[in-house]
Structure 1
Amino acid sequence: MPRRFWGVRRLIRMPLAEGGEQYSIWVGLIYIFNLIVGTGALTLPAAFARAGWSLSTISVVFLAFLSFMNATYVIETMACANAVFKWKRLQTIKRDSIQDHDHDSEEESQQRSFGDMEEPLVCGDSIPSRYYSLDRRIELGEMANLFLSRTGRTMFFVLICVYLYGDLSIYSAAVAKSVMDVVCSSIPSNVTNPKEWDELPCFNSTTAATYTRLQVYRIALLTFVGAMGPFVFFNVQKTKYLQLFTSGMRWLAFTIMISLAIHLLVGRGPQGSPPAFDVTGLPTLFGACVYSFMCHHSLPGLISPIRGKNRLGLHLALDYTLITIFYLLLAFTGAFAFAHLSDLYTLNFVPTDNENIFLEVVEYFLALFPVFTLSTSFPIIAITLRNNLQSLFLDTSRIESYNFVLRKLLFPIVTVAPPLLLTYYLEDIGVLIEFTGSYAGTGIQYLIPTFLVVSARRHCNNLLGLGVVNKYKSPFSHMAWAVFVLLWSLMCVILVSVNISEKNS
């Protein structure tokens, strides 16, 4: 056999996984756990208390199930995309080998290629297929380009951009409010209406400059965006050690918050008395839960390096179960331990005049926790948004052909300016969470995975045949599940829209 054909055979055997270190299924689940349990969980206790502990418990469990179901849709679609790329690659190799080796008949070349790579495309019986794999990392944007129409691709990029704009707005407001609460004096106990807090003087001292809490918030916001915003003009990569640092800080903070809430419950008894059911708080809870369970846009990058993915669905279900229990523990302890819950849970642990130095240090750490973690994430989210905006409006295959002002100045400014202007005049994190989670979050977590998986199944069945089985197929593969997700998403968007319109009327 010619030497060139042996090179082709070796190329066929080469895995499609991208370079990089692989890790075990348990390490991958820890990464997914850390991805889901982020800053969105800090908004859950307040929303939990507003909707009522019983209704909220049912809602959290139900929305966790929906999030898991759509995560399996992303996995199935990723396997379909891998199959399409492998099929196209094999066809190219076959054509090249046939052209380069005229002495081999077309039938013999095909048999060699398929013998080394895969079983026939259309089989009489359903058998597992090596076409379907999760070796190659294929992001949601690539899946959208592969399986969705032009309208669907535009819808995807619009949704992801709106969601990332919401992320940047929430990050900016959370950091600014945290700094304000640390810098300013504590709120008097006789002020219970949150709308009155902004007009209070930041400092109780008569010798200090007269600044209101709102003014200090805006100064902190401008400082934060001024410090973090310039990174959007460059390409900044989050390092492994930075991820480990922020993950450690996050887990330390969550553990302290749960422990302190339990300590307060044991020491002084329940201070909060949330109702069992309050339907008016459901839209806010829905937005908080969608935001808290969001991981779908980053799943491909975490799943592809995992070794041994045969029981990935089962392990992912275990991960979601643990996350749901963790969220309920955080929300239950917070809802009953505090009489008034801030939209950002860490603000309930603002520093006080405490004789215990250790406890005071802990309070300062919790109050500044969003500043530590969100400051490291803000540049990454901003750069991701900038790249998606460029993909939506420019031809990325010839990005260097556009002028310098458009590439290097306009898109970074368009990325940072809207969140700054929005949070300058709207510091209510609850409203931001409700809008981002209920609209853009619904699209990214529910609609996009459902449309992708339905289109991917049809595409792969036409390309490979019905007999080639996708071993990563979602257990919720019946079309009724997809229809249910779409109807549920539509109903939730309508309910949230009605609730927002009633608040504004």
Structure 2
Amino acid sequence: MHLLRRTKMADSGTGELYSPTMGFIYIFNLIVGTGALTMPKAFAAAGWAAGVALIFILAFMSYLSTTFVVEVMAIANAILRHRKKESNSQNSDSENEDYARPVQRPKSNTDVKYRSVNSTPDEENRPLLGTRNLGRKYNRRNQDIAENDNIFNITERVEMGQMADMFFNNVGRTLFYFCIAIYLYGDLAIYAAAVPKTLRDIACGNLSCAAINSSASPKDSDICWGDSVSRKDAYRIFLGAFVLVLGPFTFFNVQKTKYLQVGTSLIRWVSFLIMIVLTIIKISSSDSHPRPKAFDVTGVPTLFGVCVYSFMCQHSLPSLVTPIKTKGGLSKLMAADYVVILVFYLLLCVTAIFAFDNAHLMDMYTLNFQDSCEVTDVTWLRYFLGLFPVFTLGTSFPIIAVTLRNNLKAMLSCNRVRPYPFLVDRILFPLLAIVPPVAVAFVTNDLTALVGYTGSYAGSGVQYIIPACLVLMARREACTVLGISTATKNGHRSLFRRRLWIMILLLWALVCLVLVTVNHVVVESGDGGRGNGTLLHGDWSWMELKNYFSRESHVV
């Protein structure tokens, strides 16, 4: 009953369903962020062979973690159904107790006449078992057998917080919520600061070839528009516009961003293809080409720090997967997403290191197209590529915000049976999700110190450790509650079913923590190799857009 009480608050309102193709787009948009734009320089630092090998390993480990999360979602749905059936069965049995209870011999003809309608007049003529109740139990058993194959259908949206409530103990739940809250709040703070900062830099600068960017870094106090609007004022104006446009999506399900996701997905594909095509043209038209090194051990920690979270999507899978209409091929759908993204990443990085002098590759890859007319002198194209962070983070913000909202609700609802009032459920929780990160972004747009640690350590927990622990505990709970024969019929069970894979994922998480710590130490102990270009600027080594904060502005 304790488990049932903690899972009654599972949100079954998945909203409007969408096709697997739409699900593919949602997942693609969530994974592909601006972190991809920091990879080319990391490839150049560590070598193309090391880069290709590491990207393959990271993609596989993230896919492994994703299959675990989907499996846990299916187990959670199955246990919820089982608990509901148990509850309904107990209510039905209690209703039939009166029928099965022995009947006292009537004392009068009136009593005989009354009871003859509902019962046999003689106690001895009553069967030892109520045939109606027996028939119901028999039919129910047949129905349960027929529904065993469907018990694992993912129809209720069970967020990772609700999974933690179901399968972790008190210590595990506390650590989970601490980890995911830090990570998601950090993510939202990055997005809330990065998009307005990008718009500010584009609006206050000049990307035409006629305007050669100076090496001086603009200050927030510099004038942007007119005689009084400074760059800081412009940043806050864009931040307000960003919140007004994307903030309302937090009050609804992610399906409300459908057209936004489709539009920006097209823009991302076009942006990637433009950069890849332009670099291929540059390679084919140039007589001399850079010769990137194959492997450099000094650049591996930085490459790892840049790429480790380039396939992150586990935290938002429940919100993205549950509304998919047909889920029979979820593992194939996920695999297709990862393969496409892997191909994009490899094409982007390999063409970059063979097209540009590796020593002069910019931290943010789009700057190679903005700060120089060597590749293209088309002004609108350079503005288009400069707005890439806006397109990528603008669509990720609502998904992350909805994920945080749902997990906050799960955290505060673990012992609650009744749903929250409308104002609390639909107004307060969305505000709790977006107000703190927006407030931080309003005060400052420099979040490198904060995000450098929240992204690297909490991110490792969310991507690797939590899914591994969840699937381990969920499988054990499924065998206990549903039985081994039923638990093995999970159609969404991971292809990596042996416990060895869980141990491998946990070991990989430990490797991640060690390498990102090494990168922190290398960066903080000196200049991080900025002089010779073997290591990235330290502020670029952690999460997608935190990299964007500490770079010198590329516009005047």
Q: Deviations over 1:217-261 (max 9, x none)?
A: x55543333333467587266432222222222222122121112
Listed as ranges, the gaps of 5+ residues in structure 2 are 1-11, 100-129, 526-556
Q: Deviations over 1:424-475 (max 9, x none)?
A: 335x6xx787645432221111111111100100001011111222232212
Matches of 2:430 and 2:26 in 1, distance apart? 33
Aligned counterpart in structure 1 of residue 367 of structure 2, from 331, 347, 350: 347
Aligned counterpart in structure 2 of residue 235 of structure 1, from 248, 251, 257: 251
Aligned counterpart in structure 2 of residue 167 of structure 1, from 184, 187, 193: 187
Aligned counterpart in structure 2 of residue 95 of structure 1, from 87, 90, 93: 90
Give the counterpart letter for 1:304 in structure 2.
T
Change over 3 Å in CA distance of 1:201–1:54 after alignment to 2:
farther
> Which residue of 2 is the match for residue 115 of structure 1?
142
Aligned counterpart in structure 2 of residue 225 of structure 1, from 232, 239, 255: 239
> Which residue of 2 is the match for residue 465 of structure 1?
483
* 1:376-395 equivalence runs, <5 A: 376-378=395-397, 381-382=400-401, 384-385=403-404, 388-389=407-408, 392=411
Change over 3 Å in CA distance of 1:28–1:491 after alignment to 2:
same
SS across alignment from 1:345: coil
Q: Deviations over 1:125-150 (max 9, x none)?
A: xxx74322223332222211111122
> Which residue of 2 is the match for residue 11 of structure 1?
none
Kept in 2, the 8 Å contact 1:33–1:323? The answer is yes
SS across alignment from 2:506: helix
SS across alignment from 2:251: coil
> Which residue of 2 is the match for residue 8 of structure 1?
none
RMSD: 4.0
Aligned counterpart in structure 1 of residue 499 of structure 2, from 473, 479, 495: 479
> Which residue of 1 is the match for residue 198 of structure 2?
178
Post-superposition offset of 1:412: 5.1
Overall identity of the aligned pairs, in %: 41
Change over 3 Å in CA distance of 1:210–1:268 after alignment to 2:
farther
- Establish whether residue 20 from structure 1 lines up as the match of residue 16 from structure 2: yes
Change over 3 Å in CA distance of 1:210–1:272 after alignment to 2:
farther
Aligned counterpart in structure 1 of residue 445 of structure 2, from 411, 424, 431: 424
Change over 3 Å in CA distance of 1:170–1:46 after alignment to 2:
farther
Q: How many residues align?
A: 467
TM-score (norm 2): 0.72
Matches of 1:130 and 1:294 in 2, distance apart? 29
Q: Deviations over 1:51-89 (max 9, x none)?
A: 221111110000101011111101111111111011112
* 1:300-311 equivalence runs, <5 A: 300-311=318-329
Matches of 2:399 and 2:499 in 1, distance apart? 37
Post-superposition offset of 1:317: 2.5
SS across alignment from 1:292: coil
TM-score (norm 1): 0.78
* 1:193-212 equivalence runs, <5 A: 197=217
Post-superposition offset of 1:197: 4.3
Change over 3 Å in CA distance of 1:391–1:129 after alignment to 2:
closer
Post-superposition offset of 1:105: 5.2
> Which residue of 2 is the match for residue 5 of structure 1?
none
Matches of 2:403 and 2:481 in 1, distance apart? 33
Give the counterpart letter for 1:371 in structure 2.
V
Matches of 1:490 and 1:46 in 2, distance apart? 25
SS across alignment from 2:493: coil
Post-superposition offset of 1:493: 0.8
Matches of 1:47 and 1:432 in 2, distance apart? 22
> Which residue of 1 is the match for residue 534 of structure 2?
none
Change over 3 Å in CA distance of 1:414–1:272 after alignment to 2:
farther
Kept in 1, the 8 Å contact 2:198–2:387? The answer is yes
Change over 3 Å in CA distance of 1:144–1:486 after alignment to 2:
same
> Which residue of 1 is the match for residue 37 of structure 2?
42
Kept in 1, the 8 Å contact 2:167–2:473? The answer is yes
Kept in 1, the 8 Å contact 2:33–2:393? The answer is no
> Which residue of 1 is the match for residue 150 of structure 2?
130
- Establish whether residue 497 from structure 1 lines up as the match of residue 517 from structure 2: yes
Larger Rg: 2
Change over 3 Å in CA distance of 1:393–1:78 after alignment to 2:
closer
SS across alignment from 1:239: helix
* 1:300-449 equivalence runs, <5 A: 300-339=318-357, 340-350=360-370, 359-378=378-397, 381-382=400-401, 384-385=403-404, 388-389=407-408, 392=411, 413-421=435-443, 424-426=445-447, 435=453, 437-449=455-467
Kept in 1, the 8 Å contact 2:35–2:306? The answer is yes
> Which residue of 1 is the match for residue 286 of structure 2?
268
